[in-house]
Amino acid sequence: MISSETLHVVTTELVVGAFSVAGLSFTLCLLLHLGILKQPSWTSVFDHVAHFTLAFGLVATPFAILSGLSSAPGEGLNSPILVNKMFLSMTGFGFALGCLISRWRLGGKVWSTTKSVVLHSSSGLAAVGSMLLTASAGGTFTRGESLLDIFHLPYEQVLLFPVLVSVIGLLLGATMLVLSWKRMNSSSTVH
C-alpha cells in the first residue's frame, strides 16, 4: 500500500512538471505571436503543448490536493501555510480552467489579436505562477525552505475576507461567468 505522503510527492511532481512545461510553452507562444521570436512553424506546436500540459496539470491537481490534505499532520488545514496552499492551488485551478475553456470555445481566435494573445498567455502564466507558489509553500511547510526563499514570501500570513466581501466576490464572479458564457454562445450561433 502506498502512503499518502508518497502519493502526495508523486502527484505534486506531476502537477509542478506539467505546469512548468505549460509556463514555458505559454511564454514561447507569447513571444512567437508578438513577433519577438521569428519561427512561425513553432506556433502550433507550442500552442498544443501549452494547453495539453495545462490540462494534464489540471487533472492531476485534485489528486495532489487530496493526498496533501490526508498526509498533513494534524486535522486538515491547521496551519496558515496549508491555508495559503489551498488558496493558491484553487486560484491556479481557476486560471487554468478559464484558459482551457477559452481555448476550447474560441479555438485559434485566442491568438488572433495582440490583446487576446496577451490576455490568454497571461491567464495561462497566472495559473502556472499560482501552482509554482503553491509548490514553494509546500516546500516551506515540509522542509522549512523553498526555491523562492530569496523573496521572503509571507506564507505564514493568511488573507481572510469578511463574509460580506466574500459573498460579493462570489456573486461578481458568477455574474461575470454567466455573462461571458451568454456572450460566447450568442456570438457562436449562426442566424
The pLDDT of residue 65: 81
Give the pLDDT of residue 48: 93
Cα(112)–Cα(109) distance, rounded to whole angstroms? 5
pLDDT digit string, tens, across residues 18-56: 999 999 999 999 999 888 888 888 888 999 999 999 999
Average pLDDT over residues 7-18: 89
Residue whose grid cell is 454562445: 185
In this predicted structure, what is the pLDDT of residue 31? 92
pLDDT tens column, 51-108: 999 999 999 988 888 887 777 666 656 677 777 778 888 888 888 988 898 888 888 8
pLDDT tens-digit profile of 107-139?
888 888 888 888 888 889 999 988 888 888 777
Kindly give the interhelix angle for 80-106 and 163-188, rounded to the nearest 10 degrees.
10
Query: Residue 188: its pLDDT value, please?
Result: 53
Sorting pLDDT into bands at 50, 70 and 90, what band is 6?
A: confident
**With 60 as the cut, is the pLDDT of residue 143 above it?**
yes
Phi, psi angles (nearest 5°) of residue 147? -65, -25
Q: What count of other Cβ atoms lies within 10 Å of the Cβ of residue 18?
A: 23
CA-based nearest residue to 54, from 7, 101, 87, 10: 101
Select the more confidently predicted residue: 90 or 147. 90
- For the entire predicted model, the pTM comes to 0.78
Report the pLDDT value the prediction gives residue 190, as an integer from 0 to 100. Answer: 47
- Higher model confidence: residue 128 or residue 174? 128
78 vs 90: CA distance, rounded Å: 18
Residues 6+ apart with CB under 8 A from 66: none
Mean pLDDT of 174-191: 67
